[in-house]
Chain A
Amino acid sequence: MANVDQDDLMADAILSRKENPGVVSLMLNNRAIFWGSSLLFVFVMVAILAPLFTADPVSINPINRLKPPSAATLFGTDFLGRDIFARTLYGARISLVVGIAVAIIAISIGLVLGLVAGYVRVLDAVIMRTMDGLMSIPAILLAIALISLSGATLGTVIVAIVIPEVPRVVRLVRAVVLTVREEPYVEAAIAAGTKLPLILSRHILPNTIAPLIVQATYVCASAMLTESILGFLGAGIPPEIPSWGNIMSEGRTYFQISPWIIFFPGIALALTVLAVNIVGDGLRDTLDPRIARKM
């Protein structure tokens, strides 16, 4: 050891110049994220700007009932003569609002519960058994029950979809917390006298962000689908507000003579869910360092 002198120390001390590419540039380089979010952007813009280039989605015109797609009515009309194009565009608002709201609410609740369950051992069993209980309730049935109890409003629909999504988020967060809490840097923070809230927010929370963003996209996609299913079953948003689900529901009876009533909102729903899922896959690949390194 006598031959290790200060020069050797400094040689080891020369810092490497490794830099990680930023998250943003990684995302721009990922084709899935690029195409998925471009498609989503188009849908969002269409939903926002719908009034600029469509007719009133609820105005009834009995003379033009069940007209096939034409230059005047791009997607045709339904059994009350309402313009399907306008209704589909306005329906995007409901789908996107439900998808995004459910994702944000479910992730927020799930994050808090998951952090607590993962870190505070005493509460773990209580929270997780409750979540197991929630998971055993069929989502659609719960939604129908809630809506029949408190009326079909946008809020009720969102709450009804959030409840069964929360346990999935809790499980995910808890799993991450359980792994990270054993990391030596967390133990070092405990040894340094860092208080619990700071340990959670500073050392543990950041590790959950990447998986949560990915989970959020899946929650969002599945919420949009559930909303449409509820609408289709007649248990969703009230029929006076167009949503993709209830447009299709109303078109069901006329499917054989005027299939466009179901076709166009169906395509819109499929594309939106696809776009969200593609973004989710892209984010998973980018944010998971093990996969990202291979790209």
Chain B
Amino acid sequence: MSDTVLEIKGLTVRLPEGADREFAIEDVSLTVGKGEIVCIVGESGSGKSVTAFTVMGLIPKKDLVPVAGQILLQGDDLLKKSDRQMRKLRGEKMAMVFQEPMTALNPVVKVGDQIGELLEIHTNMSRAARKTRVIEVMKDVSLPDPEKMYNSFPHQLSGGQRQRIMIAMALALEPGLLIADEPTTALDVTTQAEVLELIKDIQRRHGMGVMFITHDFGVVADIATRVIVMQHGKVVEQGTRDQILTDPQHPYTKMLIGSVPSLTPPDRPEPKAAEVALEAHKLNKVYGTSGFFSKGRVVHAAQDVELVVHRGETLGVVGESGSGKSTVARCIVRLIDPTGGDITINGANIATMTEREMRPYRQQIQIVFQDPYRSLNPRRTVGQSIVEGPMNFGLGAAEAQVRAEDLMRIVGLAPEALDRFPHQFSGGQRQRVCIARALAMEPKVLIADEAVSALDVSVQAQVLRLLHDVRERYDLAMLFITHDLRVAAQICDRIMVMQHGVVVEQGRTADVYANPNHPYTKSLLAAAPGRDMDFARLA
């Protein structure tokens, strides 16, 4: 077993008292070999990150105590090392890349110096030699113009470049083991594809072992040699990439893989001619104007956006961060004022209405937000949150209560839970409550702004199903905003692709996915992780 870089045997880590279970991870055994990318997959709370942090010795010792097992890094038991010995091992023998490249880098130190710091601590290299080596690793991770970038600060780089810096830092001392904790989750899909390619390439060239933590089966399909599936702190299944993805044995693995939406849109019947529920014409939003003191920077968040949504239809708006898709949604709900253009609901142009004139139209258009933890007032019961809207429009307390109870049943929650507070619900349940709150207004148009992006894949599938059901039941026009092409493929009848505030392509989902016209759409589809795997279909 000289090829084994990391071997974990029966590792158990105890949680502090009062947690929802006794052990964060229990009896976890796995190996990472030389030249292998081992993906640890699981939903939130599965213990995948605790495993990684325990290996690195970065867990808070007071709260999380390893009580049993061994972590052998090239035969050396890490659990027996002192803090001082661990410090030496980190960087030299093992390194870690974190999820959020902005917060993992020090904002006030030049990136070159941040990479150089590792060399300064662990080696006796001279200043000049260090700089040469830093530029060498920066070249290694394909950063453009490393000599110049050496002197940049993190905020001057893009998200993908920052993540490359993190990887360069991890590589500087050529460790045998690289731990990557969701390194691409915070990145846009095209950048994600590049970073994944880079990690694969580096792993091949340096022959290191990579432990790659992710929740995304698309990424797994792209990068893994072997896969380890975790649930509630235990390893439920492990095997090679193809075994796990094509022939999963454990019911949990089957459920997870079955919940991943397919990138192939299902066959949909030709849309029936239905009335137009929402229409936007030449919608513009410009941020920032030159002020008295400053020259000002003008950003066209949305430029001449045209869209039409019929009743009973879902229009998907897809694009990367900064493409203006959320701006369009927020203009339509009039959370922000559009700079120009028309938004027509029921024949009335709401784009230029004052708040007072707008009020009657608020009922007809509702929105579900991305973050289920922040979209409900933590100090009010979910019942109060649901009835707030209808009661604003004159519904009596008793009727509102009845309506709330009905809606709770429709979204799959117990009506008795109406007098509970949001913190007593899970993320998926909260998102159901948010959907109930939106439906309570009996809207004609429902906007889902990344409504399933923060959810685990199994919960995501359930909430998508719920959105699909309520759209049918109430004949809603739905505007579905997402960055996830898989989700969009499954739920949207038509798709609108946005880039830098401009709609670059629009059409029936199946057509756009099969024959993308615009180069940006093509690159988005090409970058979707795991595009070659056919995961389960939604509808």
Contact = CB atoms under 8 A, between A and B. Distances in A.
Interface of A is mostly: helix
Contact of A13 (B371, B414, B490): B414
Given A2-B536, A184-B369, A193-B392, A15 B374 contact: no
Nearest to B463: A12
Interface residues of A, number: 33
B253 interface: no
Interface stretch (B80-88, B174-182, B240-248, B426-434): B426-434
A153 to B, nearest CB: 41
A20 B362 CA distance: 35
A203 interface: yes
Nearest to B420: A15
B338 to A, nearest CB: 15
B261 A1 contact: yes
Given A1-B490, A187-B369, A16 B375 contact: no
B281 interface: no
A42 interface: no
B420 A195 contact: no
Given A1-B539, A190-B335, A185 B374 contact: yes
Contact of A193 (B362, B370, B376): B362
A232 B248 CA distance: 82
A188 B437 contact: yes
Given A1-B490, A15-B417, A192-B437, A8 B375 contact: no
Contacts of B362: 191-193
Nearest to B360: A193
Given A13-B429, A185-B376, A193-B359, A20 B371 contact: no
* Residue in A190, A191, A194 whose Cβ sees the most chain B Cβ within 10 Å: A191
Given A3-B255, A10-B412, A192 B374 contact: no
Nearest to A195: B392
Interface string B358-381: 010011011101110011110110
A56 interface: no
Contacts, number: 109
A229 interface: no
Contacts of B370: 184
A159 B37 CA distance: 70
A4 interface: yes
A180 to B, nearest CB: 10
Interface string B518-529: 000000000000
Contacts of B537: 1-2
A193 B282 CA distance: 26
B287 interface: no
A18 interface: yes
Nearest to A185: B377
Interface string B52-85: 0000000000000000000000000000000000
B35 interface: no
Given A1-B538, A12-B412, A15-B417, A193 B423 contact: no
Contacts of B413: 13
B212 to A, nearest CB: 26
A176 interface: no
Nearest to A19: B424
A149 interface: no
Interface string A203-227: 1001100000000000000000000
Contacts of A16: 424-426
Given A1-B536, A13-B413, A193 B424 contact: no
B392 A12 contact: no
B393 interface: yes
Contacts of B50: none
A191 B335 CA distance: 7
Nearest to A20: B423
Contact of B388 (A4, A184, A194): A194
* Residue in B261, B333, B377, B389 whose Cβ sees the most chain A Cβ within 10 Å: B377
Contacts of A185: 374-377, 385
Interface in A163-191: 183-185, 187-191
B97 interface: no
Nearest to B428: A12
B14 interface: no
Nearest to B63: A294
B425 A15 contact: yes
A16 to B, nearest CB: 6
Contacts of A126: none
B441 interface: yes
A145 B389 CA distance: 52
A10 B388 CA distance: 26
Nearest to A15: B417
A194 B375 contact: no
A63 interface: no
B114 interface: no
Given A12-B459, A183-B374, A193 B363 contact: yes
B461 interface: yes
Given A188-B434, A193-B393, A194-B388, A9 B377 contact: no
A188 B365 CA distance: 11
Contacts of A190: 335
Interface string B464-483: 11100000000000000000
Contacts of A4: 259, 458, 461-462, 465
A159 B423 CA distance: 43
A293 to B, nearest CB: 11
A13 B464 contact: no
Closest 9 A/B residue pairs (Cβ): A192-B389, A1-B538, A193-B362, A184-B375, A184-B369, A9-B412, A185-B377, A193-B392, A3-B258
Given A185-B374, A190-B335, A198-B392, 19 more contacts: A1-B261, A1-B464, A1-B465, A1-B490, A3-B536, A4-B461, A13-B413, A15-B414, A15-B420, A15-B425, A19-B424, A185-B385, A188-B375, A188-B385, A188-B434, A192-B366, A192-B437, A194-B388, A194-B389
Interface of A: 1-4, 6, 8-10, 12-13, 15-20, 183-185, 187-195, 198, 202-203, 206-207
Interface of B: 254-255, 258-259, 261, 333, 335, 359, 362-363, 365-367, 369-371, 374-377, 379-380, 385, 388-389, 392-393, 412-414, 417, 420, 423-426, 428-429, 432, 434, 437, 441, 458-459, 461-462, 464-466, 490, 536-539
15 contacts: A1-B464, A1-B536, A6-B412, A8-B458, A9-B466, A10-B412, A15-B425, A16-B425, A17-B424, A18-B424, A184-B370, A185-B374, A185-B385, A191-B335, A193-B392
